[in-house]
Amino acid sequence: MEGSWLVVLVIFVMALSVQSQLKTGFYSTSCSKAEAIVRSTVESYFKKDPTIAAGLLRLHFHDCFVQGCDGSVLIAGSSPERNALPNLGLRGFEVIDDAKSQIEALCPGVVSCADILALAARDAVDLSDGPSWSVPTGRRDGRVSLSSQASNLPSPLDTVAAQKQKFSDKGLDDHDLVTLVGAHTIGQTHCQFIRYRLYNFTTTGNADPTINQSFLPQLQALCPKNGDGTKPVPLDKDSQTDFDTSFFKNVRDGNGVLESDQRLWDDAATRDVVKKYAGTIRGLLGLRFDIEFRQAMVKMSSIEVKTGTDGEIRKVCSKFN
């Protein structure tokens, strides 16, 4: 009898631990100023350069898609994640390092870099006139970071099928995919990632026929055939620094900058979500995107998190303890 009670107790405790992996206000007693410090740090960088918001959001995405949301993308060195090809354009590391050093001075060894990154991504969206949400915290930092593991990150060349698969592998559905790609409303890319669409799509010597004919000359003017490949290009031609629904209207109208974004219109399931967000009743549908983006971000930022005694709390975000 005692044995069966023990089994029930163990199962109950395991269920509880899964449920309470992350929780809002995790640091409310152990480091009550942590969230405020992250917010003020992000704000100070944002005032100098509003495009840093997209950088921080992308940093969090790229972290969560490799090894889960464990700060592994922040590690510097010879062969960590951030040296992988898809991560070479990542930025915002200095914002996380700055917030971490301020928090360490106040509460040493308490707040993880992974949590600082999740909070900074939320604050970046909020400062860009997007929604805000409560970020469940309690993540711990990973002890592994390898560039070889970053090969499965979403790519601007991905078909819709490939995008769906990569998101599905992380427990995210087609609706989450479109909602999260909506983060591109404040994003930017570089000419080298879109030039093939403008001049030699599928080696035909022509432009990608899905690009709106009136938008094509604008892109070609931004990215001349033999121009600077590192020149930045806004992913939302209408409102690069505002977190809004114009990105979805652009995809609907053939004004998507990345091939992977424009392809969302080719697939019935993803097109339905794009249509919903690009709708004409501005207030109502803008509101819907705001609500659903919050939900999708909480879901994404819980991917394969390390909690409890897993991992560590780094002293410096760019190196293991």
| Active-site annotation, residues | 62
- Residue 49, marked binder: no
Was 50 annotated as part of a binding site? Answer: no
The three state secondary structure string of 158-175 is: CCHHHHHHHHHCCCCCHH
| Nearest residue to 41 via CA among 61, 56, 58 | 56
Is 68 within any annotated ligand binding site?
yes
List, in sequence order, every beta strand (DSSP E) within the chain: 23-24, 136-137, 188-190, 232-234
Ligand-binding site membership of 205 (annotated): no
Closest CA to 245 of 189, 215, 289, 212: 289
CA 213 to chain centre: 30
Residue 190 marked in a binding site:
no
Characterize 35-65 residue by residue with b for buried, 16 or more Cβ atoms within 10 angstroms of its Cβ, and e for exposed. bebbbebbeebbeeebbbbbbbbbbbbbbbb
**Which structure tokens are listed for 92?**
């915002």
* CA–CA gap between residue 178 and residue 293 (Å, rounded): 10
203 is in an annotated binding site: no
**C-alpha radius of gyration, the chain, whole number:** 21
Q: How far apart are the two ends of the chain, measured CA to CA in Å?
A: 45
The number of angstroms, rounded, from the C-alpha of 84 to the middle of its chain's C-alpha atoms is 17
Distances (CA, A) of 225 to 198, 205, 256: 8, 12, 19
Q: Are 81 and 66 in contact (CB under 8 A)?
A: yes
Q: Is 94 annotated as a binding residue?
A: no
244 among annotated binding-site residues: yes
66 is in an annotated binding site: yes
Residue with tokens 């350069």: 49
What SS3 state is found at 319? strand
Is 236 marked within a binding site?
yes
Q: Is residue 72 a known part of a binding site?
A: yes
Please state the residue numbers annotated as binding site for substrate: 154
Annotated binding site for heme b: 184
Residue positions in the annotated binding site for Ca(2+)? 63, 66, 68, 70, 72, 81, 185, 236, 244
Binding region: 63, 66, 68, 70, 72, 81, 154, 184-185, 236, 244
